[in-house]
């Protein structure tokens, strides 16, 4: 038994052709996914969304862990390009305009690798301090041609900026204030779900937000179809 397996091992080292054949096996037929994102909120524009196909082990964020700098920049200021730059070779999409409430955006991602079939999507709810919504590495491997999966997404808090709602701290049209700031001053410093905004109409008189900026889960509907 031992002798046999070591012989195979040796052979595969010596013959480059076997190695090439093995890596060729990883290539699957080209798979196209069309992805549609709909903003379900009352008046929270979503920053230009970013999407990526990646390996199972990779993620844009993890609940209970501190946000990466790229996630902080996206969730405080709406610029998701840093998240895409984490894996520049991967199939990816970068939105060019915000996704407004009630609107949808559609795009496609292609891959011919079975190990790049986890999908992540992210965008900031721009009338907040550091709220974002999206998908965290959902598995597409079992989605067969012609089939669709529908996801309703929850809303996350990056844990990088206190939800002060104060004038000048929120980049969206409700305030026009600051986006990304490297200072981390939240009471919980890890990624969690978001607790929603309070607003001036809910007795927080110093809030720059109004009842129009309130949201509840879910915040996005995402439909993924395999072609």
Q: Applying CB under 8 A, which residues contact other proteins? A: 63-65, 154-155, 157, 159, 162-165, 187-188, 190-196, 198, 202-204, 206, 216-217
Q: Which is nearer to other proteins, 64 or 102 (CB)?
A: 64
The distance of closest approach from Cβ of residue 182 to other proteins in the complex, given in angstroms and rounded to an integer, is 21
Long-range contacts of 1-7 (CB under 8 A, 24+ apart): none
Give me the least distance between CB of 83 and other proteins, in Å please: 20
- d(CA 105, CA 155) in angstroms, rounded, equals 19
- For other proteins, the closer of residues 107 and 162 by Cβ is 162
SS3 of 121, please? strand
Q: Which two tokens stand for residue 98?
A: 């915000």
Termini Cα distance of the chain: 44
Would you say 78 and 70 are in contact if contact means Cβ atoms under 8 Å apart? no
- Smallest distance, other proteins to C-beta of residue 215, A: 8
The backbone torsions φ and ψ at residue 134, rounded to the nearest 5 degrees and listed phi first, read 155, -165
Q: Which one, 147 or 195, has the nearer CB to other proteins?
A: 195
Closer by beta carbon to other proteins, 178 or else 202: 202
Of 92 and 118, nearer to other proteins (C-beta) is 118
CB of 207 to other proteins, least distance (A): 9
Cβ closer to other proteins: 90 or 210? 210
Quote the CA–CA distance of 62 and 136 in Å, as a whole number: 8
Across 29-63, b (16+ Cβ under 10 Å) vs e yields eebebebebbbbbebbbbbbbbbbbbeeeebbbee
Dihedral sign for Cα atoms in the order 28, 30, 36, 37: positive
Contact 222, 151 (CB under 8 A): yes
């Amino acid at each position: 038994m031992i002798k046999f397996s070591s012989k195979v091992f040796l052979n595969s080292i010596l013959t480059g052709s076997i190695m090439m054949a093995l890596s060729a096996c990883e290539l699957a037929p080209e798979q196209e996914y069309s992805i549609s994102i709909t903003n379900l909120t009352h008046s929270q524009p979503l920053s230009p969304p970013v999407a990526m196909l990646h390996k199972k082990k990779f993620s844009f964020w993890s609940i209970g862990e501190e946000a990466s700098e790229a996630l902080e920049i996206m969730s405080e200021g709406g610029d998701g390009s840093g998240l895409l730059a984490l894996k520049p070779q991967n199939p990816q999409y970068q939105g060019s305009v915000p996704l407004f409430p009630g609107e949808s955006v559609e795009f496609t991602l292609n891959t011919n690798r079975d190990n790049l079939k986890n999908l992540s999507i992210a965008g900031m709810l721009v009338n907040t301090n550091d709220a974002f919504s999206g998908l965290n590495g959902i598995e597409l491997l079992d989605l067969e041609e012609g089939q669709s999966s529908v996801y309703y997404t929850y809303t996350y808090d990056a844990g990088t900026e206190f939800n002060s709602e104060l004038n000048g701290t929120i980049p969206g049209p409700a305030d026009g204030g600051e986006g990304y700031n490297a200072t981390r001053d939240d009471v919980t410093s890890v990624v969690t779900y978001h607790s929603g905004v309070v607003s001036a109409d809910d007795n927080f008189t110093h809030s720059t937000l109004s009842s129009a900026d309130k949201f509840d889960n879910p915040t996005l509907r995402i439909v993924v179809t395999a072609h």
